Each structure stands twice: as C-alpha cells, then as structure tokens.
Amino acid sequence: MFNRTLGPDNPAFTGVVTLGYNLYSPRSTMTSSTTAQRPPSRWLFAAFAYALFTVALTVGASLQTPWLGLTIAPTEEKMRVVASQGPSTAVPAGATLLALQAVTHTGSAHPSAAEVPLQAEDLIEEPDVMGTYAKIDGFFARQQQIYDLLARPHVRLRWEAGGIVSTTTVTPQDRPISALPLLFWFQLAVSVTGCLIACWVWVLRPHDWGARMFGLTGLLFPVFAMPAAVYSGRELALPGNLFFALNALNHWGSLMFGAAFGAIFMAHPRPLVRPVHLLWLFGVFNLWWLANVLRLAPSPAVGMQLAVVTEMLLAMGFATVQWRKSRGDPLARASLRWFIMSLMVGSGLFILLIITTAMLGWLPPMPQGYAFGFFLFIYVGIALGLRRYRLFQLDEWAFRMLLWLGGALAVVAVDALLILALDWTAGPALGASLWVCGALYFPARQWLWQRLAHRPGMQLHELMPDVVRIAFQPSRRAQEDAWQELLRRIFDPLHLQTAPDFSLPQAQIQEGGLSLCVPACGGLSASHLSYPARGQRLFSTQDATFVNALTHLLNEAERSRDAQERGARDERRRIARDMHDDVGARLLMLIHRAQSPELTDLARAAMNDLRTALNVMDAHAIPWADALADWRAEASARCDAAGVALEWSAPHHPDGELASRQKSVIERALRESITNALKHGEPRTLDISVTLHADHLDLRVRNDGPATRPDQWAEGRGLRGMRHRLEEYGARLEVRTLPDGRTEVALHLPLAPEPSTTTVETP
C-alpha cells in the first residue's frame, strides 16, 4: 500500500515531477522523445528514501543509550537537574548532580567501579571548542567511563539540594523516543528539508554542474548534521569510540559540504574550470580532514575551524571571479546574486556564531543544533530566487509545490506532536492537526505566496487612464509613442523596439527572462523589451500575465474608440446631407434670384463656406494637388470678378495628402485674406505664394493697394476668427507692410497630425 501511494510509480507523483523536468530542463522538449529519458521522479524518491534512512539511523543511534530520565543543564562547574521522570523521579528539579557510581542490586557500591564525579564539561555539545587534541581525547575517555557506569544494571546518583547531599539508586532503561529533546528533532528537520530542496533542484537541472554541486550539498547535509544531532542530543554520555566516530563523520561532512559550496561557484553561472578539476577541491579538504582525525594538525582550530573558514574564503573568491566574468550578463548575475546572498548569509552566520567564536572566544557560541538552522537560509534563498529571477529556470509552479509540500509536512508534524506529547490516538490527532493547519498554516501560506510570488509595482487599475489616453491619441504615431512610453515606465528596459516579426497573440518571455515580446494590440505594432529595471532583473511570468491584461485592456479601449468614431462619422454624414439638401438648395436659389451683385457675391461666399464645412465633415484626406487646384480656382474667380490681376506661385506636382480639417483651416484663412485685400486694399495685383516644406506650410498673400500701418488697423471678426482657428493648429499669422509698400499676410502652419475631434477626460 505504501508503494502504491508514495512510490515513484505513482502516476500523480511521476506526472508532476516529469512535467517540471520537461518544462525546465534545457535539454528537454514537450515531445514524445522525453519519455525515453529516465523519470526524474525516481531520483526524487531516492533522495526522499535517503533522507528517511538517515533519520531512522539517527533516531536508532540516539535510542541505544541507557536512559536515566533526567534533563540536565550545565551551570558553571556543575550539572543542574532541570526535570526528572521515569527512573529518576526521586531527584528533584533544581538539584545539583555531584557524582555517579555503579552499585549492586542490593545498593552497595560495585567493587570494580569507583565513583565518578560529574562536571559541567561532560555536557559539552561540540568537543572542538576545547582547544587541544589532548583535551578532546580526554573528553572522549571520560565519556567512555561515564557510559560504562550507565551500562551497569544499577547506578547510584549523588546529588545536592538545599545544602543537603542525598543519593538515589536508579535502574537505567531504554531511552523512549519521547525523551529525545527538541534540539534533536530540529536538527533532523533542518537537514531533511535542506537535503530534499537541494536534490529537487538537481533533479530539475541534472546536466548543470552548478545544480549538481548544489544537490551534493543536500546529500552531505545529513552527513554532518545528524551525527551532531546524536551527540548533542545525548542525555549524559556516549561510548567514547562512537563519539569519536560521530565527531569525525561530522567533520568530514562539514568539509565536503564546504567544498561543494566552493565547487558551485566554480561551475555556476559560468564554468571556471573543467568539471574534472573540481575533484582537486575535494581531494585537498579530504587530506585536511585526515590530518585532523589523525591528530597531525597543530590544534583543532587549525585542523577543523581554519579549514571551514578557508572554504568560506574560497567560495567568496570564486564568487568574486564569477561576478567579474558576468559583467553585462544580468541573467548570470541574477542567479549569482541570489546564490551569494543565501550562501553568505547562511554559512556566514554559522561560521560567525560557531566557528569564529570558538576560535577567538569573542562570544559564547549558541547551541550548534540551532545554528544548523542558518543553513536553511541557503536553501530558502533558492526558493526566494524564484520570486524574481527564476533561478535554475524554476518557475512559480515550483514555489507553489514547495508551499503545498510545507502544508503536508505541517500536518504530519502537528499530528506527530499530538501523538507523542499528548498521547492522543491517531484519529483525533489527525483531525486536530488538519484543523490547526487549516486555521494557521494555509492562511500563512497564502500570505507568503502573495508576498513572494506576485510581482510588485503598478496595478492594472492605476494604468487604465493611461491606456484610454493611448487609445484616443490623434494619430497612430502618437499612439505608438505613448504605448512605448508606458512600457518604459512600467518595466524600465534598457532596450525597447518594435517587433514586426512577432505574431503570437500572447506575451512571450525569451532568452531565459532577458527579454519580453509584447503582442500587437489596438492596431499598434508588437514590441520587444530587453533587460528590465535597467538590467537589474529578469522578466517573470507575472510580467507576461500583466502585459497580456494590459494589451487586452488596450484592445477594448481601441474598440470603444472605433465605435465612437464610427458613430461620430455617421452623425456627421447625416448632418452634411441635411445641410447640403436644405441649406445648399436655399443658397443656390438665392444666387439665381438675387437682384444685386453684392447679394449674389454674398450668397456665393456662403456657398463656398458651406462646401468647405461639408468637406471637413466628410473627413477624407485630400491630395495636395487637388487642394492647390481648388484654392487657385477660387482665388482666380474672385480676382477676375474684382478686376484684379492674380499672380499664383505653388508647387506644380506636390506629393502626399492633406487632412480635411487642415485644408479647411488653410482655405478659410486664404479666403479671409483675399476678402480683406479686395475689400480694404483696392489692389491692382494680388500675389499668392504657397511653399511646402517637410514639416510646415508657408502661405503669403500680398497686395499692392494703398496701405496703412498694420498696428493702426482695427481687427474685425473675420481676422479674429482666423487667428483663433489657426492657434488650434499651432499656426502663426503675421500682417505687415513690406519695404516696397505692399501689404502681406503671412501664414506659417505646422503639418503635424490634425488634432483629435474627441476629448477624453481622465482623472
């Protein structure tokens, strides 16, 4: 039943892990060829089995020692009883243990075993702090001596409480699992968690030497943590040879753990040496360990602590080299930054509080078992790297899996706690653990997911006014500029350019997060963004999701604008038809029935103004050649009617088109200028010149009639209306007297896109 539910052949287990491997391994693709590869779920299950085996071995070794039922703490030179149970319930809490002696079943002293005084030094958690090999070997000898007494059937405890010395004879028993201290379980939990996370990363990136070395650190974690859990969680003593072996294994695992860390920086993100040369690092520190075990080093500080500090310095040196080599490569620096932070914080705190304090004696070291928790900074740092940089190309699905795994482990942990601590049965304990985790863990998990997996920054509702403003820009070029400016404001990329070859409907992350392709939307071109945050981070899946929502919003805004403009065009056409049929017909009737030339001219002028207005409402672009022809024809007809000679100067075959509203404003200005010249100037000749430039138009109307200075003119309604219309287009109107006595009206009009006919108010 166990293999069917948790084994590597379970379809759900295999499917989830294989999916992660296929998605994030650089050598794999989502094709049938990947099925020929060895399922990574088997490797994960092997790592899980390895972790369980080390836990079982550690628990078994801790339960083999005789148990007195005492919880003891060192106080200066003595041992103080914190709590007593089982065989030693007669010893009160707060008593001071003085000595230990083997006795016969009758309570008399055993003839072959002398009394052994107890010292606070017997409870030292890590023998390395003693300073010399002689002291360490003497400590192991005392441990063997005390253990030999505990192995006897009966033991007499001599203790002192309230100034009264008493003795109690106890019978050591097998140590129950409930007697293992919290420190012991903490070390096991930390080592198993670190091991599984590291192996998980390695399984997803099996061909990456950096990931391989990281996986190796996970396998080595229990090697040095669990032996320490055995001897730091002892009640009073262990066999001397066993203590020595566990201590040596702890040293070997620690040195190989540090060597693997250095190898990570030698291999990731860029290989500094060939993989085979990584063996030199392990070989050197194996020899260093052997010198420490054989007592060839001058002192434990040189044999062990100095080796660990050296590994730390080597890792920092390799990291510095990697940092220099990854200059200009934010993808490499992203992963390197998270590695440096997590490795230096986790290992640095451990070395500072355990190794350095032991060597220099600055501070009393904290319990080594709890100091192992600092190594979780290393492994949790990898998970935090998933938040922004997708370290080892793991995506947020992996972080979600880790959180769900944490939920499952929380349920199991609470269940075990209730069974062991409160002696509950399995059924009520499971129900209570589910309730506790549901009430506490899962809300915390959701909060953690929101904090770590969601991209901080602008919210979509904050950008809605900007999106609407883009949709209602007066021209396509203005829309493109505003859209790119918005993307720059959101992502601050080093490079942003159009991507005409990108045709997918959804945003796509490329180059491992270095670039993001934004699909075409709202009639705008696709865009390609590179190096977000000025090259300080990578694009994430949250960025792609955010862009997809933004483009959808822009498409909707563009459709709303199109619908509004279609409605406006239809309404303009209806009004134009009504004006043509009603007003135009009446003006035409007035022209034919007018009794005086002045009334006829007035009606014709009104008809021309009506025609100009209707052309504007038609909203079609007009070729420059047609516009110039219309203006010349009207000017020629009016000059002929007034008996004035016309001199016309304009390009013969101009290219391009003119917006209907721009044609209207120029036409009205030209018409008003001709009217003023004919009405007030009484000229003999009217000189009109039109000059087209790349970005503006110059129109000049000169007449040779008698003139007064322009500053003495009274500006009428026509000239004021002309100025007002021209100002809307950024045009400049000048009226002046030329040196030859002629009067000139000069119009300078930028040929920028016409202003929008729709006004959008945004908050």
Most confident option among 204-218, 357-371, 398-412 = 204-218
Residue-level pLDDT at 326 = 79
Rounded to the nearest 5°, which phi and psi values hold at 180?
-70, 130
Residue-level pLDDT at 293 = 94
Average pLDDT over residues 588-610: 70
Report whether 24 contacts 393 (CB < 8 A): yes
- Asked if residue 94 has pLDDT above 70, the reply is yes
Average pLDDT over residues 189-213: 85
Return the CA Rg of the chain.
44
Residue-level pLDDT at 30 = 32
Rounded to the nearest 5°, which phi and psi values hold at 278?
-65, -25
Per DSSP bridges, beta strands 96-103 and 116-117 are: antiparallel
Task: Quote the tokens at residue 131.
Answer: 């300073």
Residue-level pLDDT at 382 = 58
| 453 or 701, which is more confident | 701
Average pLDDT over residues 649-666: 81
Helix or strand holding residue 391 (H, E): none
Helix or strand holding residue 497 (H, E): strand 495-498
Residue-level pLDDT at 762 = 30
Residue-level pLDDT at 490 = 86
Residue 484 to residue 497: CA distance in whole angstroms: 8
- Quote the crossing angle between the two packed helices 376-388 and 182-204, to the nearest 10°: 40
Report whether 78 contacts 122 (CB < 8 A): no
Closest CA to 597 of 684, 582, 605: 605
Q: Which residues of 391-415 are buried (b: 16+ CB within 10 A; e: fewer)?
A: bbbbbbbbbeebbeebbebbbeebb
Q: Tell me the per-residue pLDDT of 513-565, one tens digit each, with 9 for 90 and over.
A: 788 899 988 888 899 998 887 776 778 777 888 888 888 888 888 888 778 77
CA distances from 566 to 36, 469, 479, 572, 740 (A): 58, 18, 19, 10, 52
Q: Tell me the per-residue pLDDT of 285-304, one tens digit each, with 9 for 90 and over.
A: 999 999 999 999 999 989 99
% of residues, the chain, pLDDT over 90: 21
What's the pLDDT band for 58 if we cut at 50, 70, 90? very high
Helix or strand holding residue 67 (H, E): strand 66-67
Residue 604 to residue 591: CA distance in whole angstroms: 7
- At 27, the amino acid letter reads R
| 234 or 269, which is more confident | 234
CA distances from 525 to 486, 551, 554, 555 (A): 14, 11, 13, 12
- Asked if residue 199 has pLDDT above 90, the reply is no
- Asked if residue 55 has pLDDT above 90, the reply is yes
Phi-psi region of 506 (alpha: psi -120 to 50; beta: other; left: phi over 0): beta
| 602 or 250, which is more confident | 250
Residue-level pLDDT at 254 = 92
Residue-level pLDDT at 471 = 82
Sign of CA dihedral 321, 322, 328, 333: negative
Please give the span between the terminal C-alpha atoms of the chain, in angstroms, as a whole number: 64
Residue 154 to residue 588: CA distance in whole angstroms: 132
Q: Tell me the per-residue pLDDT of 463-511, one tens digit each, with 9 for 90 and over.
A: 888 888 888 887 788 888 888 888 888 888 888 888 887 788 888 888 7
Residue-level pLDDT at 243 = 95
Residue-level pLDDT at 412 = 52
Task: Quote the tokens at residue 11.
Answer: 């379809």
For residue 170, give the 3-state DSSP assignment.
Answer: strand
Residue-level pLDDT at 697 = 86
Contacting residues for 452 by C-beta, under 8 A, at least 6 apart:
383, 384, 386, 387, 399
- Model pTM above 0.85: no
Q: Which residues of 589-624 are buried (b: 16+ CB within 10 A; e: fewer)?
A: ebbeeeeeeeebeebbebbbebbbbbbbbebeebeb
Domains and CATH numbers, the chain: 40-63+180-394 (1.20.1070), 69-174 (2.30.42), 395-454 (no CATH), 460-562 (no CATH), 624-763 (3.30.565.10)
**Mean pLDDT for all residues in the chain:** 77
Report whether 99 contacts 78 (CB < 8 A): no
| 159 or 721, which is more confident | 159
| 666 or 236, which is more confident | 236
- Asked if residue 216 has pLDDT above 60, the reply is yes
Average pLDDT over residues 15-39: 40
Residue-level pLDDT at 23 = 35
- At 360, the amino acid letter reads L
- Asked if residue 758 has pLDDT above 70, the reply is no
Residue-level pLDDT at 160 = 93
Q: Count CB-CB contacts under 10 A for residue 310.
A: 16
Q: Tell me the per-residue pLDDT of 303-356, one tens digit each, with 9 for 90 and over.
A: 998 998 899 889 889 988 988 887 767 667 767 766 766 766 666 566 556 554
- Asked if residue 402 has pLDDT above 60, the reply is no
- Asked if residue 107 has pLDDT above 70, the reply is no
Q: Where are the extended beta strands (E) located within 134-215?
A: 154-161, 164-170, 173-174
- At 38, the amino acid letter reads R
Residue 383 to residue 641: CA distance in whole angstroms: 87
Residue-level pLDDT at 222 = 93
Most confident option among 24-38, 217-231, 572-586 = 217-231
Judged by average pLDDT, the poorest of 235-239, 240-244, 299-303, 530-534 is: 530-534
What's the pLDDT band for 445 if we cut at 50, 70, 90? low
DSSP state of 755: P
Residue-level pLDDT at 569 = 73
CA distances from 656 to 212, 624, 626, 753 (A): 65, 6, 11, 13
What's the pLDDT band for 403 if we cut at 50, 70, 90? low
Most confident option among 235-239, 388-392, 669-673 = 235-239
Residue 548 to residue 481: CA distance in whole angstroms: 19
% of residues, the chain, pLDDT over 70: 70
Residue 626 to residue 518: CA distance in whole angstroms: 41
Residue 434 to residue 6: CA distance in whole angstroms: 20
Residue-level pLDDT at 674 = 86
